[in-house]
Amino acid sequence: MALETVGGVVLDKVIGELIKPFVDGGKKQAAFGDILQRVKSIIKLIGPTVRQIKKLSAELDRPKEESENLIQLFDEGEKLIQKCSKLNWWMPNRWKYANKLTAFYESLLRFFQFHMPLQQFMTNMEILAHLQSQFRYGTGGVSGQMGYLGSGGSRVSGEIGYLDPCNAPDPPDFMVGLDVPLKEVKKRLFKDDTSVIVVSAPGGCGKTTLVQKLCQDPDVKENFKDNIFYVTVSKVHNLKLIVRKLFEHNGFRVPEFQTDEDAINQLEQLLKNQARKAPILLVLDDVWKEPEFPLQKFAFKIPEYRILVTSRYEFPSFGSTYKLKLLNDEDAMKLFRHSAFLTDGDFMPDEDFDEDLVNEIVKRCGGFPLALQVIGGSLCGQPVEIWKSRLMEFSKGQSIFDSGKRLLDCLQLSLTSLDGEQKERFMDLGSFPEDQKIPVTALIDMWAELYKLDKNGVQAISNLHKLSLQNLLKLVVTRKDATEVDGYYDEAFVLQHDLLRDLAMHESSQEPMEQRKRLILDLSGNKLPEWWTEEKQPCFKARLMSISTDQMFSSSWCNMQVPEVEVLILNFQATENYTFPNFMKQMDNLKVLIVTNYGSSAAELINFSVLGSLSRLKRIRLEQVSIPTLCDTMVELKNVEKISLVMCKINQAFNSCAIQISNMLPNLLEINISYCSDLVGLPEGLCDLVHLKKLSISNCHKLSALPGGIGRLENLEVLRLHACTKLLGLPDSIGGLHKLTVLDITGCLRMAKLPKQMGKLCSLRKLYMRRCSGLRELPPSIMDLKQLKKVICDIETAELWEEHHFTNLKITIPEETIDLNWL
């Protein structure tokens, strides 16, 4: 178990350092100075961890052989470095030590590539066996259910492949003005008489950044150790889901919560058990005022228990309030220049940008961090005339932060550099719930129909990058290797600051509700707008409609009149079922349907048959829902071209179905299925979808086989089987896919061989096959792949391809990183 510390914390960096010389150049002997420096850096990197392992091995009473090899390697490396460092360049025996360094270097490579992962796997199996015995015999209570599956603080939580839900995110790389606040909040945190601290400031002032930096502070980490829990609350929250995340963070089995009160009681018992090991810090980020969030319920009477809250509001009766101030002039200037000039602000990039001009614009931002970043980003690279014009547009005299309206007025100016369609797409982002990741694939579907962008997403991604460069959103990719695969955006998301979302919604609401392009409804419980209950409903002209409901919504829909809606977004929180509204039957112009459940488990869709009335519907995206048996609904989707299913329960959808899939979906062009944990196999009828061009299945870890008749998909151009870890192989009929240009089998660990008919893929141009560790040989027919231009694979697989001596084939071996998220 001690080895897991180095496996989780250092292994990524070590493997990265070790593997560089072998990727492109083969195992050639490096120059003496280069190899000595590389060995030095690795020994320095693992040194603190090795010393910790020595200590932990004794404390945990683990077998000596688990850590002995690593310790011996480390000691040998230190001695070798000492000897080599004393050699002068003219000494004749210098080449002998170069060989010793190279041999030692390769020993390190073998250890971290093979021995270390094997040892980790064995340790995890021991833990699982131990846990299984505890659960079987009912021992241990809460404390006996702990299961640390991972290393370096990483634990399994929820669906495999998702990160620990309560780890504090890393703060931004560039920060100013937080040193004093950090010192003052930390001082309060360590006071014996302080149990609650509320960091209060308007949205966008840096509250979240401050607490993220605090959680990474060495003193704080040392004091609270592994008992730092970070939860983002936001306005629309789910109390049971928050408690569930806290249980998952600790590696515990999540109990069934009967009520919110029961969830709070179970959480109290959990924290009491954790407090026996070390003091506890619970961070509740972005808390809204009561009664929206029952903050008082978290005030458990537990020794050494601290709560740190960030909020736009103050809670004078709850705890000590720290008011985060705006930036002073010096820090405001640094932050603005960092955004506007892409420098640290030490110099002016152009003589035309005089100090007075910059000072005046910074002054108008009033020290508000978000305004400085957004306005600075919008002016970055612009001519001096744009800067002068922007300054003229600012209101004179008073600070723009005297009221919320003035702040919005200021932020509105950051949109002036956007053209009409860019601004429209920025406003579209307000259609998604606050504090939730926005899937890039959902935006691609929306914008392909609303703005006639290309259906593959290239133009949509380009627009997102433009908005990101102006600090109006943040693009994140949750898996490191996702960007290697062309057109694969399943792991890409958009994050947007709450204030910028407010700005998008504000811009969308300038016209009367009936005339707006976007109808955005955020329904809480049974608090409905007045027009909802009127006998005669108003007629709305919106092209995009978004309805967000919480877990208390009664699903009592009004008969809404929305005949021009082209995109419908339904966001909800449910664990049992969700009823499609009947008014959808009258949405004759609907082209895109996006349904997302933000609850803790998949909810079954009720009234699914309404989709059969939508004659123009082209794209359907469903996330974390259970799809009913299609035979029961008798739904036919004649014009649907694309279906995306994410974290859905779909196995029952086609079970015992007498209806031909090709009759239900005669014009389907694209199927995307990801993280669907119950998908074991695909129906044979899928092979009758003769118009299908793209079939993408990713992270479906129970899928073991494809339909035998897949070769009948004569128009298929892209087949993606990404991280389907139990898939055993491809059917021989795959040779019938004469139009296939892209094949992705990355992460198919158990695939032992490729089919003999591979050579008949006469149009294949790109083949992605990293982490296909079970593959031992390639069929002779691959020599017939005359159009194949690029293979992306690992070193071992590359050797198999090189044996066949292709002339125009480019074999790419990306730099290796140890990233377990793909599992």
SS (H, E, C) 658-692: CCCHHHHCCCCCEEEEECCCCCCECCHHHHHCCCC
CA dist 676 and 159 (Å) reads 10
Tell me, yes or no, whether 112 and 187 share the same domain.
no
Segments forming the whole domain that contains residue 193: 179-323
> What is the pLDDT confidence band of residue 129, given thresholds at 50, 70 and 90?
low
Identify the pLDDT of residue 552.
Answer: 79
> What is the pLDDT confidence band of residue 65, given thresholds at 50, 70 and 90?
low
**Any idea which residue has 């030590």 for tokens?**
97
Establish if 721 belongs to a structural domain: yes
Tell me, yes or no, whether 82 and 216 share the same domain.
no
Identify the pLDDT of residue 743.
Answer: 95
Establish if 678 belongs to a structural domain: no
Residues of the chain with pLDDT > 70, as a percent, come to 78
Pairing of strands 492-495, 438-439: antiparallel
Tell me, yes or no, whether 267 and 195 share the same domain.
yes
Work out the average pLDDT over 376-386. Answer: 81
Tell me, yes or no, whether 296 and 183 share the same domain.
yes
Work out the average pLDDT over 721-745. Answer: 93
Tell me, yes or no, whether 200 and 292 share the same domain.
yes
- The CATH number of whichever domain residue 757 belongs to comes to 3.80.10.10
- Give the range with max mean pLDDT: 476-485, 586-595, 606-615, 626-635: 586-595
Identify the pLDDT of residue 27.
Answer: 39
Work out the average pLDDT over 50-59. Answer: 67
Work out the average pLDDT over 467-478. Answer: 82
Tell me, yes or no, whether 116 and 195 share the same domain.
no
Establish if 779 belongs to a structural domain: yes
Work out the average pLDDT over 510-522. Answer: 91
Burial class, 238, CB count within 10 angstroms (exposed 0-12 / middle 13-18 / buried 19+):
buried
Q: Is the pLDDT of residue 821 over 50?
A: no
Establish if 737 belongs to a structural domain: yes
Residues in contact with 316: Cβ distance below 8 Å, sequence separation at least 6, in sequence order: none
| Lowest mean per-residue pLDDT among 328-332, 344-348, 481-485 | 344-348
Rg (CA), the chain: 29
Per residue in 523-580, pLDDT (tens digit) is 877 778 888 877 788 899 999 999 998 887 876 788 889 999 999 999 998 878 888 9
Q: Is the pLDDT of residue 444 over 70?
A: yes
**Any idea which residue has 């020794």 for tokens?**
303
- Give the range with max mean pLDDT: 35-39, 74-78, 815-819: 74-78
Establish if 809 belongs to a structural domain: yes
Tell me, yes or no, whether 42 and 123 share the same domain.
yes
Per residue in 311-323, pLDDT (tens digit) is 877 787 777 889 8
Q: Is the pLDDT of residue 343 over 80?
A: no
Q: Is the pLDDT of residue 654 over 80?
A: no
Per residue in 211-243, pLDDT (tens digit) is 999 999 999 989 888 789 998 887 667 888 888
CA dist 380 and 372 (Å) reads 12
Identify the pLDDT of residue 274.
Answer: 87
Establish if 286 belongs to a structural domain: yes
Q: Is the pLDDT of residue 819 over 60?
A: no
Nearest in space to 772 (alpha carbons), one of 709, 723, 702, 700: 723
Identify the pLDDT of residue 35.
Answer: 74
Burial class, 132, CB count within 10 angstroms (exposed 0-12 / middle 13-18 / buried 19+):
exposed
Per residue in 738-782, pLDDT (tens digit) is 999 999 999 999 998 899 999 999 999 999 999 998 888 899 999
Q: How many CB atoms lie within 10 A of CB 163?
A: 13
Identify the pLDDT of residue 91.
Answer: 61
Tell me, yes or no, whether 111 and 237 share the same domain.
no
Identify the pLDDT of residue 820.
Answer: 43
Identify the pLDDT of residue 307.
Answer: 92
Identify the pLDDT of residue 64.
Answer: 57
Number of H helices, E strands in the chain: 23, 24
Q: Is the pLDDT of residue 352 over 60?
A: no
Burial class, 717, CB count within 10 angstroms (exposed 0-12 / middle 13-18 / buried 19+):
middle
> What is the pLDDT confidence band of residue 671, given thresholds at 50, 70 and 90?
very high
Which residues share a beta bridge with 495? 474
Of 87, 118, 142, the residue at which a domain comes to its end is 142
Of 323, 350, 373, the residue at which a domain comes to its end is 323
Identify the pLDDT of residue 746.
Answer: 92
Establish if 503 belongs to a structural domain: no
Q: Is the pLDDT of residue 520 over 50?
A: yes
Per residue in 10-22, pLDDT (tens digit) is 455 555 555 454 4
Give me the number of domains the chain comprises. 3
CA dist 365 and 385 (Å) reads 19
Work out the average pLDDT over 109-133. Answer: 59
Query: How many residues in total does the chain contain?
Result: 823
Residues in contact with 457: Cβ distance below 8 Å, sequence separation at least 6, in sequence order: 440, 441, 444, 448, 487, 489
Establish if 816 belongs to a structural domain: yes
Work out the average pLDDT over 245-259. Answer: 82
Output the CA–CA distances (angstroms, integers) from residue 32 to 18, 29, 95, 97, in the order listed. Answer: 16, 9, 8, 8
- The CATH number of whichever domain residue 311 belongs to comes to 3.40.50.300
Per residue in 68-99, pLDDT (tens digit) is 777 787 888 888 887 777 766 556 666 677 77
Tell me, yes or no, whether 208 and 134 share the same domain.
no
Query: pTM here?
Result: 0.67
Identify the pLDDT of residue 758.
Answer: 93
Identify the pLDDT of residue 116.
Answer: 65
Identify the pLDDT of residue 697.
Answer: 95
Work out the average pLDDT over 60-68. Answer: 60
Identify the pLDDT of residue 100.
Answer: 79
Identify the pLDDT of residue 745.
Answer: 94
Per residue in 264-308, pLDDT (tens digit) is 999 999 899 888 888 999 999 988 766 667 888 888 988 889 999
Tell me, yes or no, whether 184 and 318 share the same domain.
yes
Tell me, yes or no, whether 128 and 11 share the same domain.
yes
Can you say whether the dihedral through the CA atoms of 382, 444, 675, 576 is positive or negative?
positive
| Lowest mean per-residue pLDDT among 105-109, 503-507, 516-520, 597-601 | 105-109
Q: Is the pLDDT of residue 450 over 90?
A: yes
> What is the pLDDT confidence band of residue 30, given thresholds at 50, 70 and 90?
very low
Position 297, amino acid: K
Identify the pLDDT of residue 816.
Answer: 59
> What is the pLDDT confidence band of residue 817, given thresholds at 50, 70 and 90?
low
Of 142, 167, 190, the residue at which a domain comes to its end is 142
- Give the range with max mean pLDDT: 160-164, 303-307, 690-694: 690-694
> What is the pLDDT confidence band of residue 138, given thresholds at 50, 70 and 90?
very low
Identify the pLDDT of residue 514.
Answer: 92
Tell me, yes or no, whether 137 and 195 share the same domain.
no
What 3-state class would DSSP assign to 721? strand
Q: Is the pLDDT of residue 721 over 60?
A: yes
Question: Which has the higher per-residue pLDDT, 217 or 483?
Answer: 217
Work out the average pLDDT over 616-641. Answer: 84
**Any idea which residue has 């969830």 for tokens?**
263
Identify the pLDDT of residue 320.
Answer: 82
| The token pair that represents 573 in the structure block | 């929180």
Supply the DSSP string of 55-91, one letter for each residue: HHHHHHT--HHHHHHHHHHHHHHHHHHHHHHT--TT-
- Phi first, then psi, for residue 787 (nearest 5°) are -90, -5
Residues in contact with 75: Cβ distance below 8 Å, sequence separation at least 6, in sequence order: none
Identify the pLDDT of residue 115.
Answer: 62
Per residue in 502-512, pLDDT (tens digit) is 888 888 988 89
Output the CA–CA distances (angstroms, integers) from residue 276 to 130, 225, 270, in the order listed. Answer: 22, 12, 11
Identify the pLDDT of residue 173.
Answer: 83
